[in-house]
Structure 1
């Protein structure tokens, strides 16, 4: 999938305009009053974990939940907010995200409209994942010859005790998948100094996301080495932090016996 975007980033807000007037995705740090200039579907996050999905009208956003980040999706005119909210909520629940007070999924999407809203929802999820906010566990192809089923990865207590080593793209590190939704990157990791650039000299989305993650942990990095243990939320985020992505990180984490994290966890 390839999508053209116009992105504006400030310290507290990332605005993503989709091409062809297809809508806007906005990622906002919760610093007090949040004003919405148009109706939108919202996703609330607490410490980068999705906790709620809903719909809001224009004006000052109000919600009693404790959250520190909000993602708003204001789609094009032909996308019904109720249908989009329903599909996002269904996807989140089916992929193990525990929502607080999830929306009542009572609205039936007409068969003639199903493809339109599903296509739009998939594009939104693709963009959010590339910016580091997946609503579902990333599916990776299996290492062996492709089969009809796509790969998923399962965390286990056994895996949580195993150290995995990374040595790729000017980075070296030791990491553990120590909790279901947390990766522990041990102190002393070497990170790639400079992000790779596109052919036109600009930063790609993975590079920008890697820089944002590094900014969140800049107090624990000195001279491109980590000075403390760092908690990241996914294998994908480990790759973005260490070497700005660009490769299948499930295959880059390898134990002392040469077995990849993908081999340990793929189902």
Structure 2
């Protein structure tokens, strides 16, 4: 969004005249309400950059009594209704968890005005946020995703047999080399798979189909007739049971210790 405006600055206020007759935003760094111009307009009262009141000036008196340190006055384009903007700003503030001492009624903005009012409000809020005035709830910073666990093959692991006995699948697996997961002959492959909610076939199922097609001469009636070597734990999980479960936690030795516990880099 690009917003063009002419700016003027004095000790008491900042005035932004928006281009294309889109109105004026005046920020008064004073609690003296007499500074507000007595013309039809919308006002916002702030204390410590927290919104306290929203209202409109339609005569010479400003009746709000909220203590404030900053006032913002908005004169609007001719086609924007004052009270509808007040209503929209009040609702936005309440949705952000801001308690107002003065606000609009809860009457709905008519449908034929709603889009234009909210679009104009978005312009105003974008500008005000640049000056440190927030009406919308601040988004919580996204927590960084935990680093993906690293696993390392070593010779000792090659002597351990890992087992799967779940998801209608049974298999014995050996991580025999860094890029070689051996599935012992006689593995029982899962027959049924789940569709996506929309009834489509998911990516995991398509990948499993491809893997099994590549090894079809070693499979009969969903049972492997020879040892099969794949490249990774993930491929092995797909091949055996269509994936969807973390093979690092599924493959376990005779004591129940997972392949993750055996090989994870701490």
**What TM-score, normalized to structure 2?**
0.50
Larger Rg belongs to: 2
